[in-house]
């Protein structure tokens, strides 16, 4: 049998849960997951583990790539970065050094060719004393429209 993570041939397999999936892996890859508890006496522990995994999965799904549930990266972030840099009397090179990034990153951000990660966004906001997030506008739809629209979530069956 082969390890379901690395593909190595294994003789003694371990059953672990990785990202919510139960896999049979080698002893080296077992560190990437939580070991499955197999005894009948410990089913409560397994249920607790599954609850923790489900909670982590929901937390990951609820996170946004940028900001929080109410905020997202502003569409005019390139202008905000450039204006903030100019107001602070910094060159692109100076700003790059201040936030420990390459000058080319600053250039790409100011042109809008690159979106900043959350970490980079926070460094820019702190260094330039600007805000790159904006509040999301709530969109209200007619209830009849929302019931007839098909989403990917409607096609997925959960076990």
Domain annotation covers residue 143? no
CA of residue 117 relative to chain centroid, distance? 10
pLDDT of 19 above 90 = no
CB 133 within 8 Å of CB 122: no
pLDDT of residue 59: 56
Q: Do 23 and 56 sit in the same domain of this protein?
A: yes
Burial class (CB in 10 A: 0-12, 13-18, 19+), 95: buried
DSSP, res 36: P
Torsion sign (Cα): 131, 133, 138, 139:
positive
Q: Is residue 88 located within the same domain as residue 50?
A: no
| 22 SS3 class | strand
Q: Are residues 48 and 88 both part of a single domain? A: no
pTM: 0.46
- pLDDT exceeds cutoff 50 at 139: no
Using a 10 angstrom Cβ sphere, with 0-12 exposed, 13-18 middle and 19 or more buried, the burial of residue 43 is exposed
Q: Report the alpha-carbon distance of residue 84 to residue 119 in Å, rounded.
A: 18
Give the tens place of pLDDT for each residue, 54-88: 666 665 555 544 444 568 888 899 999 999 999 99
Q: Give CA–CA dist 69/16, Å, rounded.
A: 32
- Would you say residue 141 lies in a domain? no
Is 5 part of any domain? Answer: no
110 falls within a domain: yes
Name the residue range of residue 101's domain: 71-135
């Amino acid at each position: 049998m082969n390890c379901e993570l690395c593909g190595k041939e294994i003789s003694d397999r371990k059953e672990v849960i990785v990202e919510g999936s139960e896999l049979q892996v080698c002893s080296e890859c077992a560190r990437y997951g939580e070991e499955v508890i197999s005894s009948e006496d410990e089913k409560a522990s397994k249920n607790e583990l599954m609850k923790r995994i489900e909670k982590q999965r929901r937390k990951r799904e609820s996170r946004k790539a940028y900001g929080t549930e109410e905020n997202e990266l502003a569409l005019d972030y390139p202008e905000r970065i450039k204006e903030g840099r100019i107001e602070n009397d910094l060159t692109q090179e100076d700003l790059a050094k201040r936030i420990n990034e390459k000058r080319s990153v600053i250039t790409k951000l100011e042109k809008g060719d690159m979106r900043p990660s959350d970490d980079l966004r926070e460094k820019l906001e702190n260094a330039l004393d600007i805000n790159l997030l904006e509040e999301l506008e709530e969109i209200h739809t007619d209830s009849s429209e929302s019931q007839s629209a098909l989403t990917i979530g409607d096609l997925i069956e959960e076990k």
